[in-house]
Structure 1
């Protein structure tokens, strides 16, 4: 089996409502879909959702890298040879993890389809039967976030992730309001997206929030400040998760050596796809650090890829892949049984891509052939 064609689509996924985090607000979610075809007629889909602030890639730049740098070098290669695929991509360009993730995911999808097995069977088999889904609250006023939290709990959600990171005092009010609205039995996870900047601001907030019983606090400081995470971890009982501060093996080694986090958030877009994500999970497992699989608000394609990784590993104890629930229209049919996610036994990613919807959302596209 050889790759004969790679088609690249730049699309915009429509959101039910704007998605607001500490450093950006999105009215639609820009995404790049890869359609990979092999010489035996099999088709696999992948996705890249780059983020200037996290992966260091722009939407336009990622499309160009896929079109001009990566895709032409992969024509004729066997998509099952993942080590070689990544070696070739790494030889062509340093970094560019979201672009590489799109190719990686498409390869796994097409190989699973060719063998007639789900992607999780390519990763060691399914360990988890289901995961609870966490609802993500965009940044808003304390009253708005509290009302949304209350409504989602009424729908059956048992855990909430709050996006904060605009200002410390305002964030404290938001968190207190949400805790008051949902009671003590609901898990609240707070994601600062680097917005509290340093350990001083973070410790100030945590000292005020002791009564709020946070499940964990995610990435309060700048991504590269691993030492600040170490200081915070030594001075609080609130579990800490690293997200933007973990991209690949280099950061994971430092996190493990310094015991800088209680949990890490592995995202396919940050590390380069399914294959490197599994390597990070193995590293964390050896160090006894629990993992979460998160997302950059991806369509059914990217979200399904993350789920296959999560379902295959015992050390992965939570997921946060709710992109498809945020879209008013998607290109795929990943199905949630809110407040749970369970994967089907369909070959590959288990997602049927609606080509009509894909083309309707496409701003521009290119085809690379041998």
Structure 2
């Protein structure tokens, strides 16, 4: 089997409401969709959702990398030879993890369809039957976050991921307001997205949160400052999760060696796709470190890819892949059974792509042959 064509679509996914985190407000979500075609007529879809602050890529840049760098070297190659595919991409361009993830995901979609198996059966087999879905509260005033949390509890949600990181004092007020609203039995995870920056500021915050039953605090300090995470971890009883500080195997090795976190957040867009994500999960398992598969707010395609990784690994104990629930219009049909996600046995990613909606949301496109 050979890759004969790679179609590239730069799209913007419309959100029900703006998504606000510590370093940016997203009125919609820029994404790049890959449609990979083989000489056997099998079609696979992939997705890249880059982030200038995390992956170092832009929406426009990923499009051009796929069109001019990665795409041309893959024409004529076998998508089932995933190790070689990654070697070719790595030789062609340094880093560019979201761009590579789009190719990796499309290849796995093709492999699954070729073998008539869901992707999770290709990377270890199904381990989890279901995952509870965590509702993400984007940054807002304390009363608004608390009110939204109350509404979601009524819909059945039992866990929240709170986005904070603009101001320590306000952040603390928001967390306290949500806890007061939902009571002691609802899980609250706090995602700072590097917003507290230093270990000193973080320690000031965590000392005020130790009585509020926080599941974990995610990436409070600057992503590259692993040593700051080590310091915070040594001085708090609240579990710490690394997100932006974990990109690939090198960072994972340092995190393990320094015991810099209790948990790690694996994202396909940071590490380069399904195949590298599995490698990270294996590293974490060797260190007896729990993992989460997180989201860059992808469509059904990228979200499904993350779920397949999560469902196949015992060491992955939580997921935060809620992009499709935030979009007023999506290109795929990934189905949630809120507040749970349960994957089907459909071959490949298990996602049907609506070509009409894909065309409607496309800003610009091209093809590599």
Q: TM-score range by the shorter chain?
A: over 0.9
The question of whether the paired residues in 1 share the 8 Å contact of 2:210 and 2:237 is answered with no
Q: Could you say which residue in structure 1 is the equivalent of 2:162? A: 162
TM-score by length of structure 1 reads 0.99
Match of residue 194 from structure 2: 194
**Superposition deviation, residue 81 in structure 1:** 0.4
* Superposition misfits of 4+ residues, deviation over 3 angstroms: none
State the alpha-carbon separation in 2 of the partners of residues 262 and 368 from structure 1.
43
In the TM superposition, what is the alpha-carbon distance from 1:211 to its structure 2 partner? 1.7
* Deviation per residue, 1:304-340 (Å, 9 max, x gap): 0000000000000000000000000000000000000
Q: Distance in 1 between matches of 2:124 and 2:253?
A: 24
* Counterpart position of 2:92: 92
> C-alpha distance in 2, partners of 1:199/1:339?
34
TM superposition shift of 1:208: 1.1
CA distance in 2, matches of 1:172, 1:239: 17
Q: CA deviation at 1:365?
A: 0.3
The reply to whether residue 309 of structure 1 matches residue 338 of structure 2 is: no
Counterpart in the other structure of 2:320: 320
Q: 1:179-230, CA deviations, whole angstroms, 9 ceiling, x for partnerless residues?
A: 0000000000000000000110111011111221100000000000000000
| 2:269 aligned residue | 269
- How many Å separate the matches in 1 of 2:223 and 2:210? 24
- Cα distance in 1 between the residues matched to 2:67 and 2:210: 50
For residues 263-310 of structure 1, what are the alpha-carbon distances to aligned partners after superposition, in whole Å with 9 as ceiling and x for unaligned? Answer: 000000000000000000000000000000001000000000000000
Distance 1:210 1:221 in 2: 18
Determine helix, strand or coil for the equivalent of 2:13: strand
Q: Tell me, in whole angstroms, the C-alpha distance in 1 between the residues paired with 2:211 and 2:115.
A: 52
Instruction: Report the alpha carbon displacement of residue 341 of structure 1 after superposing the two structures with TM.
Output: 0.1
Structure 1: distance between partners of 2:132 and 2:210: 26
**Cα distance in 1 for residues equivalent to 2:292 and 2:304:** 15
Give the SS at the match of 1:212: coil
Q: Matches of 2:35 and 2:105 in 1, distance apart?
A: 10
Instruction: Report the Cα distance in structure 1 between the residues aligned to 2:71 and 2:215, rounded to whole angstroms.
Output: 42
Q: Which residue of 2 aligns with 1:15?
A: 15
Structure 1 residues 90-134: Cα deviation after superposition (integer angstroms, max 9, x where no partner): 000000000000000000001100111100011111000000000
- Helix, strand or coil: the match of 2:217? strand
Distance in 1, Cα, partners of 2:208 & 2:105: 43
Aligned length: 369
Distance, in Å, in 2 between the alignment partners of 1:159 and 1:209 is 17
Hey, what does 2:342 align to over in structure 1?
Answer: 342
Single out whichever of 43-52 and 199-208 deviates more from structure 2: 199-208
**Which residue number in structure 1 is paired with residue 232 of structure 2?**
232
The 5 Å alignment of 1:128-139 reads 128-139=128-139
Give me the whole-angstrom Cα distance separating, in 1, the residues matched to 2:268 and 2:208. Answer: 34
Residue 299 of structure 2 is matched in structure 1 by: 299
Partner Cα distance (2:59, 2:29) in 1: 10
Distance in structure 1 (CA, Å) of the matches to 2:23 and 2:13: 20
CA offsets, 1:229-262, max 9 Å, x none?
A: 0000000000000000000011000000000000
Partner SS, residue 203 of structure 2: helix
Q: Which structure 1 residue ranges, 5 or more long, are not aligned?
A: none
Render the CA deviation track for 1:11-67: whole Å, top value 9, x for unaligned.
000000000000000111000000000000000000000000000001111100000
Shift of the alpha carbon at 1:169?
A: 0.4
Structure 2's unaligned 5+ residue stretches are none
Correspondence for 2:113: 113
Q: Using the alignment, how far apart are the partners of 2:293 and 2:255 within structure 1?
A: 17
